[in-house]
Amino acid sequence: MTNLEVQYRGELVDGLGVHGDMLSYLSLPDTATLAQTSSALGVWAAAVDGCVDGAFTGVSAVIVPPLPGGLKSATGATWLDSRMQQTGIIDFSATGTSRRYGQALPSFSNAAISGGQFDISNAAVQALISLLLNPTGYFTNAEKQSLEAALDALLSFRKRAYLATRSYVL
């Protein structure tokens, strides 16, 4: 059993429509369930609610766990060549909507590009798609609708020009 650092956040609105945030910090055992965490968050919100004249518009609990082992580090030739602007996007269908959900992959790997196009057959891409579509993974779009199938993919570019110019030696 490990303890995790957790933040409880509450969003409040006052009588003038001005929004504010409320934060508390906790250390919770990782054996706690989502139900227990949500329940404890509710107890906190109720205690805060008694102290404020503003009204809650939302609550959330934020966990910042350590990064898992085995991820690549910010070193090496391949990483040095990587570019955030090069973004892969995989489009998914979702249950209960005709609208697609696009999953963005920043600094998309050159190894997953073939003939100048997004190579959806690439093994790493297929592993990610399988993960997102696995029913026991419970992955959804932003509206909590389960992902159904990968429809297509494209290679796009999202500029971060103001950040890129910082890194050049003039």
Partner 1 sequence: MANIPLHFSCTVEDGLGVKRSTDVYQSPPDTTTLAQVVAAMGTWLSDLDASTDGAIVADQVRIIPALPGGLKSATGATWGRSRNMLPGVLRYSSAGTSKAWSSVIPALAAACIVAGKPDVHGATLGTYSTLLTTGSNGYTNPNGQALAALESGIIGERKSRKQLQASSRAV
Of residues 118-137, those binding partner 1 (CB under 8 A): 122, 124-125, 127-128, 131-132, 137
Of 89-118, which residues contact partner 1 (CB under 8 A)? Answer: 103-112
Q: Which of 119-123's residues contact partners 24+ apart within 8 Å by CB, and which partners?
A: 120/90, 120/150, 120/152, 120/153
156 within 8 A of 89, measured Cβ to Cβ:
yes
Least separation, in Å, of the C-beta of 113 and partner 1?
10
Stretch 133-162: interaction string toward partner 1, x if CB under 8 A: ----xxxxxx-x-x-----------x-x--
Least separation, in Å, of the C-beta of 89 and partner 1?
10
Could you tell me which of 158, 143, 141, 159 has the C-alpha nearest to residue 91?
141
88 within 8 A of 105, measured Cβ to Cβ:
yes
Contact pick of 149, 151, 154, 163 for partner 1 (by CB under 8 A): 163
